[in-house]
Amino acid sequence: MKIAILGAGPGGYVAAIRAAQLGADVTVIEESEVGGTCLNWGCIPTKTLIASAEALHKVKNAASYGLDVDGTVTPNIEKIVERKNKVVGVQVKGIRGLFKSWGVTLIEGRGVIVNPKKVRVTLKDGSPEDIDADKIIISTGSRPAQIPVFPFDGKRVLSSDHAINPDSIPGSLLIVGAGVIGCEFAFIYKEFGSDVTMVEMMPNAVSTEDAEISQLLERELKKNKIKLLTGTSVEKVDVKEDGVSVRLSNGKDIEAEKILVSIGRSVNSNDIGLEEIGVKKGQRGEVIVNARMETNIDGVYAIGDVVGGVMLAHLASKEGVVAAENAMGGSSEVNYNVVPAAIFTSPEIASVGMREKQASEQGIKYKVGRFQFRALGKAHAMGEIAGLFKIIAEEGSDRILGAHIIGPHASDLIHEIAVAMENGLTTKDIAHTIHAHPTLAEGVMETAEDVHDAAIHSPKK
């Protein structure tokens, strides 16, 4: 079985390895760099910048940990970016090594589907190469969405691709869009010293999260003196020599040295031959697939950001595994009800399953357990007490419908609940499991107890 995969991001490279494990002869076509957006411009670069920002934060607050620090601490942006590139480089090498180990062929160039059995690649030197395949997996990803009236120039008007490679720290930064990407960069740049203002059309920051979580994040933004203007849009941007001048929908003007546009991502589904072979696309260009990741064309699969929906690296990887298994004759499906997601703000946010609003809109009878990080000894020892755990469970069955955490290490803490959900466990199952002390994970146990008003470290209700 010959499988050709378009794109070596977290969807495509994972699909490649799984298909190879199952015995396929796999060719991956990548026009940029293996690891895709996630590894080169997204998840990993931002996390290395955040690690630098957190280290800076700790040093600035050393006194609160009983440390006397002499002298000043200054972010050196050149070295911070150098560290980021080094981390990314190691991971890129890792994927290339895995390809070699599993016998996956990597072809560097731009691939276009000629017919369901053939991909034509334009190699880096401009020459064409045809790849024959029995099955094709499309994993071409997405790119930062632009506002047509003020396109990215990389100097004054930045996308997230630019924001991970700064050549200096702007004195002031205006971020358009207070979603996941905008909020992560807001904390990073604020810590590095920029005066940060965010403008968001929706009534809340991270508006797709549970409402209580959004509210708490907004308070943390305030604590960090990051300005947030909600229910506001940008009407006009004037790029000037020394900065940008922005007209807002509330009639006010804001001046900033740079502007970061983080209003979402557009799918990469054009100019890769989809129209020519008749692959069905939705309104925003997303490739339409079923739960087996099959498009309407026999033998052609699509996974990851290009299928629209929630754009998450790990979901793309799961879809890649499912597509590869199905391409090899298996029968796999993705469970979209249990998809953990993390936002690396300060503190972190993590979620899995339903928001409370969804449960209520669907008329489900549910109970909510809540627990504050500040009730945990470990949080106090760490000096990071702000945060909330929240579990939503179905009344009667006690099964977990969703969970939301904002607080230190939320991104790690959510998985215990994800495992419980994937396996139909109840809040009582979590509550009955001994959790080590002193840990933040005790908060998950306490929250599960709180669903039944039995958290030990909460006052009587």
Partner 1 sequence: MYPDDLKYHKEHTWVRVSGNKATVGITFYAQESLGDIVYIETVESDASAEAGTELTQIESTKATSAVISPVSGTVTEFNEELSDAPEIINEDPYEKGWIAVIEITDDSELANLMDAGEYEKYLEEEVKQA
Interaction site with partner 1 (CB under 8 A): 219, 222-223, 372, 374-375, 380, 385-386
Which entry of 162, 404, 409, 437 is annotated as an active-site residue?
437
Q: Which is nearer to partner 1, 284 or 374 (CB)?
A: 374
Q: Does 437 qualify as catalytic in the annotation?
A: yes
Residues pairing with 343 in the sheet: 349
> Minimum distance from CB of 211 to partner 1 (Å)?
15
Q: Which is nearer to partner 1, 103 or 377 (CB)?
A: 377
CA gap 137, 116 in Å, rounded: 10
Rounded to the nearest 10°, the torsion over CA 273, 275, 278, 284 is 120
CA gap 363, 366 in Å, rounded: 9
> Minimum distance from CB of 367 to partner 1 (Å)?
21
**Planar angle of CA 100, 102, 104, nearest 5 degrees:** 65
For the chain, the distance separating the N- and C-terminal CA atoms, rounded to the nearest angstrom, is 62
Mention every residue, 6+ apart, whose C-beta is less than 8 A from residue 250: 229, 232
Q: Which is nearer to partner 1, 286 or 356 (CB)?
A: 356
> Minimum distance from CB of 190 to partner 1 (Å)?
15
CA gap 270, 278 in Å, rounded: 13
Q: DSSP string covering 255-298, please? A: EESEEEE-S-EEE--SSSSHHHHT--B-TTSPBP--TT-B-SST
> Minimum distance from CB of 264 to partner 1 (Å)?
29
Nearest Cα to Cα of residue 147 among 221, 236, 225, 86: 236
Burial of 320 (0-12, 13-18, 19+ CB in 10 A): buried
CA gap 316, 303 in Å, rounded: 6
CA gap 184, 341 in Å, rounded: 14
Q: Which is nearer to partner 1, 10 or 407 (CB)?
A: 407
Q: Which is nearer to partner 1, 239 or 385 (CB)?
A: 385
CA gap 185, 188 in Å, rounded: 5
> Minimum distance from CB of 16 to partner 1 (Å)?
48
Q: Which is nearer to partner 1, 104 or 388 (CB)?
A: 388
**Catalytic machinery residues:** 437
